[in-house]
Amino acid sequence: MIKTIIDKLLGKEPATRSRKPRFGKREEVPASVHGIDPQLVDPRAVDVVRTLKDAGFEAYIVGGAVRDLLLGLRPKDFDVATNATPEQVKNLFRRAFIIGKRFRIVHVVYGRGREHEVIEVSTFRAFLDNSLAEQVSGNERTSKLALAHMKHAVDASGRVLRDNVWGPQDQDATRRDFTVNAMYYDPESEVVVDFHKGIQDAQKRVLRMIGDAATRYREDPVRIIRAVRFVAKLSPLGFKLESKTAKPLVESEHLLKEVPQSRLFDEMLKLLQTGHALASIEQLKKLGLAKGIYPLLDVVVERADHPFVQAVLADTDRRVGEGKPVAPSFMLACVLWQDVKTGWDQRLKKGFHAFSALSEAIDEVFDQRIGDVSGRGKLAADMREIWVMQPRFDKRTGSSPFGMVLQARFRAGFDFLRLRADVGEVDEALAQWWQDFQASDDAHREDLVAQAREEQRQKQKSAQPRKTVRQAESEDAPQDAIGHEGAQALGDAPAKKKRRRRRKPAGSGAAAAAGAAEAE
């Protein structure tokens, strides 16, 4: 009490008004309450947890995997959190790799090739109190030297620049975004550790930000996009954003301008390629974020009602739901096809060669729409192949079809053609022909090529100009009745090419001489 009075006289803040963050109360919820089915847990994630615990560390399955398990869903990815440092984690596994700079984590790899599985392991992070952290202007890219000797730092706006400060589990939970993503599950004891009433929020179907939402968006503006993605994914289950979490979204959107373009590009792909593309676009519109997050995402939202774009978004959602792979190059090729086709047609009208016209149109679209993002080279190459392949599908004779099906990107190019046929941009018969061709043996393929050749011949024949009625009548009339003058008047071929019916083998006089001259 006396100390408080002295502090007031000296102008100091009272100790009871400490700025220390509240880290929540630890609750251990048993299996009889949370009801998680152990059969839904990936055995490789269990192996990682067991290995870390056997080495004397704490370890839990964490984040979205716990949320999905609580909801009775089978998670697609499993993350593990531990108090072991990245170096300590790496030393415990034969195939483990430390990745990241701003946020260092470890990828523990099981299996090889396409069947491999990655368990992501992160170290418990300390909660960064912006009011006490080092204040640094600029961003990580331009401030590397200034930040080199700092354990943690934020910029003047409150955005976290480095997040590799280890801390206890309760602080790690507080620095996570949503309450339903901040729970820890021990697959051995089957206990869920909850600091922020995430289980209750999951039961109420509420997405609630831990702490003050506006402050958390400033710390990491990408949380704005994550909020959209999570509500899009969970809205079919009845989840809604808490009002205090949703309210600062629009006014915080400008903070995304400070985020590296490559990171925004990756977050855009997560919105569109995690099985909830159409729902994500619906939420962007509903929350007032239809424009301004990322230029290319603006294009997707703007064209979402176009039949072709809507078809590819729906197809992407379907493939993800069926566990099939999806490629960003295919989806973006569909979204930007309208621009390519417009530029291509404009150049063809100006007399450009077909290939150069298409190539220039593609280059223009890349410069205007894709921008400078990580991995653009591979992305651009795949998109270009899909686009360049489209006019080649019209060539179904000779050896061209046999060479087409051997190309590495043929399947992507055909799927693109299939979508174009579905929306009526190309003839359905063309897509069906290629569907049959790729599924047939060589003998049947030869028959299909012969069929295409005959169809082409018939089209060329029907495209020839038809003769006028007078021309048809003149050809049907007897030639001797028309006579030489009549034939010239109707504009027929020269007399020497006419076959005249001669009733007599020979003639005399002037008439016979005239007939002989015409025969010659």
Active site residue 345: no
Positive or negative, the CA dihedral 271, 273, 277, 279 is negative
Buried b (16+ CB within 10 A) or exposed e, 372-403: ebeeeeebbebbbbbbebbeebeebeeeebee
Segment (H or E) for 107: strand 105-110
| Residue 447 among the catalytic residues | no
Active-site entry in 42, 68, 79, 317: 79
Amino acid at position 143, single letter: S
Amino acid at 45: A
Q: How far apart are CA 108 and CA 289, in angstroms?
A: 36
Q: Coil, strand, or helix at residue 101?
A: coil
Active-site choice (7, 47, 77, 492): 77
Assigned token pair, 328: 């960003």
Residue recorded with tokens 């998670």: 75
* Cα–Cα distance, 134 to 152 (Å, whole number): 7
The pairing of beta strand 153-155 with beta strand 105-110: unpaired
Maximum CA extent, the chain: 151
The answer to whether residues 362 and 387 touch, using CB atoms and an 8 Å cutoff, is yes
Q: Which long-range contacts (CB under 8 A, 24 or more apart) does 26-29 make?
A: 26/170, 26/193, 26/194, 26/195, 27/193, 27/194, 27/195, 27/197, 28/191, 28/192, 28/193, 29/191, 29/192, 29/193, 29/194, 29/199
Residue 264: how many CB atoms within 10 A of its CB?
21
d(CA 90, CA 104): 12
Q: 178 phi and psi, to 5 degrees?
A: -100, 150
Phi, psi of 386 (to 5 degrees): -60, -45
Q: What is the DSSP-derived secondary structure letter of residue 76?
A: S
Which residue is it, tokens 């952290």? Answer: 133
Question: In which region does residue 117 sit, left (phi positive, over 0), alpha (psi from -120 to 50) or beta (all else)?
Answer: beta
Closest CA to 337 of 362, 317, 354, 313: 362
Closest CA to 387 of 340, 451, 326: 340
SS3 content of the chain, % helix, strand, coil (to 5): 55, 10, 35
Out of 68, 155, 177, 382, which one is annotated catalytic? 177
**7 noted as active-site residue:** no
Q: Which residues are catalytic?
A: 77, 79, 177
